[in-house]
Structure 1
Amino acid sequence: MEAWQKPETIILWIIIVGIFLVVLLTVIIFLVRAIFKKIIKAKEKEAKTQLAYQQNLLETTIKTQEIERHRIAADIHDALIGKLTAIKMEQEITQKDQKTIEALHDSIAIARRISHDLSPPLIEFTKLPELIKELLYPWEQHVLITAIYDIRHDTNETDDFKVQITRIIQEIITNIVKHAEATQVTLHLKQTENYMALYISDNGKGYDTGSNSKGLGTKNIETRVQYLKGIYKVKSNIGKGTSNMFLFKN
C-alpha cells in the first residue's frame, strides 16, 4: 500500500483541507463584513452630510424670513406710521374732518399691530408669557381664549426661541379663527428647569389628520418645531376640535 493511501495520511489531508476551507471561509466572511461596514459607514456619512445640509438650509431660511419680517416691520413703524401720525396731527390741528381723524387713528393702530406681529418690540427684555399675552389680545375679540401659565422655573430663553414660539402660536390661532369655526381656545404653557411644554386646543370642527394634504400654515409650524429641535403632535377629530402639543427641551 502506497504511503498516501494509508488511512492516517488520508485523514491528515482531510484535516488540512478542512482547515484550509475554514480559514478561507473565515477570510471571505471577514472581507464581506469589512465591505459591508465600509458601505454602511459611507451611507451614514452621506446621511449625516445631507442632514447637516438640510439643517443649515432650514436655519438659513428661517433666519432670512425673520430678517425680512424685521425690515418690513421697521418700514411700517418708521415710515408708514410716521406719515399717518403726521397727517392725523395736521387734521387734528385744523379740525377739518372728525371721520378722517378717526380713520387715521384706526389705521395707525392697525399698522402698529401688524408691525408688532412681524417683529415684537423689546423682545430681549420681555418674558415669553408676556409676549404670548400680547399676541393673544387682538384675537380675544374673535374667540374666547383661556390661557394658563404654569411657570415653575424662570428660564432665560433666547430671543430666537421666543420669536419662533410666538410664530407657532400665531399660526395656530390664525388657523383656528379662519378655518376651525371654534368658539373656545385653551392655551397652556408649562416651563420647568428641563423642558417647556405648550398645549393649544379648540372646540372647532376638526379635520382629518391622516390626510396627506398639508396647508402652508401646518408646514410652517413643523419647520419651526424642527428648527428648535422640538417635538410636535396634533390630534383632531371631525366635530370634536383639535389639540396641538409641543415639547422643547432646555
Structure 2
Amino acid sequence: METWKEPQTIILWIIIVALFVIILLTSIIFLVRTIFKKIIKAKEKEAAIQLDYQKNLLETTIKTQEIERHRIAADIHDGLIGKLTALKMQQEITSKDQKTIDALHESITVARRISHDLSPPLVEFTKLPELIKELLDPWEQHLLITTIFDIRAEINDTEEFKVQITRLIQEIITNTIKHAEATQMYLHLKQTENYMALYISDNGKGYDVAKNSKGLGTKNIETRVQFLKGVYKVKSKIGKGTSNMFLFKN
C-alpha cells in the first residue's frame, strides 16, 4: 500500500488542509475587520470635522447676531432716542402742545424698550431673574404672567449665557403673542449648583408639534439651545396650550 494512501497520512493531510483553511479564513476575517475599522474611523473623523464645522458656524452666527443687535441698539439709544428727547424738550419749552409731547414721550419709551430688548444694559452686573423680570414687564399688558424663581445656588452666569436665555424667552413670548391667542403665561426658573431648568407654558390654542416644527421661531430656539449645550422639549395640544422645557447643566 502506497504511503500517501495510509489512513494516518490522509488524516494528516486533512488536518493540514483544515488548518490552512482556518488560517486563510482567519486572515480574511482579520483583513475585513481591519478594513471596516479604517472605514469607521474615517467616517468618525469626517463626522467629527463636520460637527466642529457646524459648531464653529453656529457660534459665529450667534455672535454675529449679537454684535449686530448691539450696534442697532446703540444707534437707537444714542441717535434716535437722543433726537426724540431733544425734540420733546423743545416742544415743552416752546409750543407746549401736550398731544405732541405725549406722543414723543411714548415714542421714546418704545424706542428705549426696543433698544433694551436688542441689547439689555448692564447684563454682566445683573442676575438672570432680574433680567427676566425686566424683559417680561412690557408684556404684562398683553398677558397675565406668573413667575417663580427657585434660586437654590447663586450662579454667576456668564454675560453670553444670560443674553441667550433672554433671547429664548423673547422668542417664546413673541410666538405666544402672535400665534397662541393666550391670556396667561407661567414661567418657572430653577437654579442649583448642578443645573438650570426653565419651564414656560401658556393657556393658548396649542398646535400640532409634529406639523409645525420647521418654523423660524422654533429653529431660532433650537439653535440657541444647541449653542448653550442644553436640552429643549416642547409639548402642545390643540386647545390645551403649549409648554416649553429647557435644561442646562453647569
- 1:144-155 matches, within 5 Å, as 144-155=144-155
Using the size of structure 1 for normalisation, the TM-score is: 0.98
Question: Within 2, Cα distance between the matches of 1:2 and 1:239?
Answer: 94
1:190-205 equivalent positions in 2, closer than 5 A: 190-205=190-205
Deviations 1:56-110 (A, max 9, x none): 1011001000000000000000011111111111111114422111111111110
Quote the residue 1:142 is aligned against: 142
The residue correspondences of 1:42-53 to structure 2 (distance < 5 A) are: 42-53=42-53
**2:84 aligned partner:** 84
| Structure 1: distance between partners of 2:82 and 2:210 | 48
One-letter identity of the residue aligned with 2:82: G
- TM-score norm. by structure 2 comes to 0.98
Mind listing any 5+ residue stretches in structure 2 that lack a counterpart? none
Alignment of 1:1-250 (within 5 A): 1-211=1-211, 214-250=214-250
Separation of aligned partners in 2, 1:227 and 1:239: 32
Report the secondary structure of 1:44's partner residue: helix
Paired residue secondary structure (1:193)? coil
The number of residues matched between the two structures is 250
CA distance in 2, matches of 1:247, 1:26: 49
Q: Distance in 1 between matches of 2:213 and 2:203?
A: 22
Worse-matched range after superposition: 143-152 or 82-91: 82-91
Deviations 1:180-211 (A, max 9, x none): 01111000000000000000000110000111
Cα RMSD, aligned residues only: 0.8
Please give the secondary structure, in 1, of the residue aligned with 2:229.
coil
Distance 1:73 1:152 in 2: 33
Q: Which amino acid aligns with 2:142?
A: H
Structure 1: distance between partners of 2:7 and 2:37: 44
Q: What displacement does 1:126 show? A: 0.2
Cα 1:45–1:190 change in 2 (3 A) is same
Cα separation, 2, equivalents of 1:66 and 1:245: 24
**Structure 1: where are the runs of 5+ without partners?**
none
CA distance in 1, matches of 2:155, 2:170: 22
Q: Following superposition, which runs of at least 4 residues in structure 1 exceed 2 angstroms of deviation?
A: none
Shift of 1:213: 5.0
Q: CA deviation at 1:212?
A: 5.2
Identity %: 82
Q: Deviations over 1:3-41 (max 9, x none)?
A: 111111111111111111111111111000000000000
Q: Secondary structure at the match of 2:20?
A: helix
SS of the residue 2:211 aligns to:
coil
Determine the C-alpha separation between the residues in 1 that align with 2:153 and 2:82: 40
- Secondary structure, aligned partner of 2:121: coil
